[in-house]
């Protein structure tokens, strides 16, 4: 049982909630769920503190637009400006991926300012201090969505613990010109003797192939050529798998009556599941902020929660980036990657808000 926990996990969930219906994805569901839950929590805040709860609908519209627009533009400008500025229409293709939380962190305060400006009786910092609580929760759900998409993963652990992200390789293998009915990647229980403690860990792929016009000899020839190519020549396979390009493919073909079962024995790279680390971190920040609000409510100095949020979220983001793979190639030449570089000023701004809120509270106490 302990070994089962400590050893690696072969991670390859279908990013679509329903197989065969690619439009409804876990990432989209979790992204939307973040806003739905956040809206209910904000209604709770407004009720408990004597504000008109109907204003939350208006605030939610501002928040949704600011998050999507800000996160998209953040990715475009911070990570791939040349690609998108040369093809501006691609900026609108949000469904293809590419969102940066730092961009949302810049646009959301502007959106809240616009909301407060058009909403009499609302204090800017009061609203922001409550919004950051639910943003932490939404961030946790979004990172879990990244995990379901097998994206924004970590660096190799160098040990036999971690996640092997096999989804991309499954999709590559599915492009082979064969009547494939299913592909499944998994951790083989009978290959534990091949563990070396280096992070290069055994992974099997079960490929079910309809017989069609193939006999076993012809199928073996095709698989040995195409699977080897898929495991060693594609960038995503090189990134996640660890097949030796110089050795013959370890392949077993079993006749299952109406189909063949090809068992490919290869290796993967165990990597840090940083999506889980970040998700749990943001979830913890949400609970701590929420508990603090439950206990103190109106006693919280305006701006304090904004400061604590920026320090904790982007401070932890800075830390976890040490375990994450760079998202774009130019980051390989940087001392600190883009996520860390953008986190530093936000942490500094957070410190400024904490000092401001505490000094403001002190001055009010003296005046009273």
User: What residues does 201 pair with on adjacent strands?
Assistant: 268
Residue 366: pLDDT band with limits 50, 70, 90: low
Integer Cα distance of 48 and 102 in angstroms: 31
Q: What is the pLDDT of residue 361?
A: 74
Mean pLDDT score of the chain, rounded to an integer?
A: 90
Structure tokens, 166: 């096999």
Cα distance from N-terminal residue to C-terminal residue, the chain: 62
Give whichever of 64-78, 209-223, 286-300 has the largest mean pLDDT. 286-300
More confident residue, 3 or 317: 317
What is the helix (H) or strand (E) element at residue 328, kind and residue range? none
Summarize pLDDT for 138-182 with one digit per residue, the tens: 999 999 999 999 988 899 999 999 999 999 999 999 999 899 999
What is the helix (H) or strand (E) element at residue 340, kind and residue range? helix 338-367
Residues 280-291 have a mean pLDDT of 97
Q: Name which of 68-82, 92-106, 335-349 the model is least confident about.
A: 92-106
Residues 184-189 have a mean pLDDT of 96
Integer Cα distance of 74 and 107 in angstroms: 9
Q: What is the pLDDT of residue 6?
A: 61
Residues 210-233 have a mean pLDDT of 89
Q: Name which of 11-20, 158-167, 252-261, 337-346 the model is least confident about.
A: 11-20
Integer Cα distance of 207 and 50 in angstroms: 60
Residues 326-354 have a mean pLDDT of 89
Residues 169-197 have a mean pLDDT of 94
Q: Please report, for the chain, how many H helices and E strands are present, in that order.
A: 12, 8
DSSP state for residue 249 in the 8-state scheme: P
Taking the whole predicted model, whether its pTM rises above 0.85 is answered as: yes
Percent of the chain with pLDDT over 70: 95
Integer Cα distance of 301 and 202 in angstroms: 54
Asked if pLDDT for residue 213 goes beyond 90, the answer is no
Summarize pLDDT for 301-337 with one digit per residue, the tens: 999 999 999 999 999 999 999 999 887 777 778 888 9
Residue 5: pLDDT band with limits 50, 70, 90: low
Residue 2: pLDDT band with limits 50, 70, 90: very low
**Nearest CA among 188, 81, 100, 187 for reference residue 142:** 100
Q: Phi and psi for 18 in degrees, rounded to 5?
A: -115, 125
Residues 244-273 have a mean pLDDT of 94
Residue 287: pLDDT band with limits 50, 70, 90: very high
Residues 181-194 have a mean pLDDT of 95
Q: What is the pLDDT of residue 96?
A: 62
């Amino acid at each position: 049982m302990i070994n089962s926990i400590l050893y690696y996990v072969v991670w390859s969930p279908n990013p679509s909630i329903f197989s065969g219906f690619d439009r409804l994805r876990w990432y989209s569901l979790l992204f939307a769920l973040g806003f739905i839950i956040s809206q209910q929590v904000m209604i709770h805040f407004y009720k408990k503190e004597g504000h008109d709860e109907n204003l939350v609908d208006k605030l939610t519209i501002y928040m949704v637009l600011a998050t999507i627009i800000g996160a998209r533009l953040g990715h475009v400008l911070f990570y791939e400006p040349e690609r998108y500025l040369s093809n501006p229409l691609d900026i609108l293709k949000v469904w293809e991926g590419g969102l940066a939380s730092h961009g949302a962190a810049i646009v959301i305060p502007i959106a809240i300012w616009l909301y407060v400006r058009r909403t009499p009786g609302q204090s800017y910092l009061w609203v922001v201090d409550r919004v950051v609580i639910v943003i932490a929760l939404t961030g946790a759900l979004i990172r879990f969505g990244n995990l379901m998409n097998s994206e924004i993963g970590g660096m190799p652990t160098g040990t036999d613990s971690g996640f092997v992200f096999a989804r991309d390789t499954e999709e590559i293998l599915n492009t082979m010109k064969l009547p494939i009915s299913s592909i499944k990647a998994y951790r083989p229980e009978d290959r534990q003797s091949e563990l070396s403690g280096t992070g290069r860990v055994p992974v099997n792929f079960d490929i079910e192939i309809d017989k069609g016009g193939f006999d076993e000899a012809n199928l073996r020839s095709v698989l040995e050529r195409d699977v080897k190519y898929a495991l060693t020549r594609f960038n995503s396979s090189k990134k996640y798998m660890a097949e030796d390009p110089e050795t013959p493919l370890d392949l077993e073909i079993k006749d299952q009556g109406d189909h063949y079962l090809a068992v490919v024995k290869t290796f993967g790279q165990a990597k840090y599941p940083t999506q889980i680390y970040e998700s749990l971190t943001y979830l913890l920040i949400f609970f701590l902020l929420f508990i603090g609000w439950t206990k103190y409510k109106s006693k919280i100095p305006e701006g304090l929660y904004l400061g604590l949020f920026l320090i904790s979220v982007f401070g932890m983001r800075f830390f976890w980036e040490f375990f994450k793979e760079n998202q774009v190639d130019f980051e390989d030449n940087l001392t600190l990657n883009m996520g860390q570089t953008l986190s530093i000023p936000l942490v500094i701004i957070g410190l400024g808000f904490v000092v401001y809120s505490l000094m403001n509270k002190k001055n009010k106490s003296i005046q009273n």
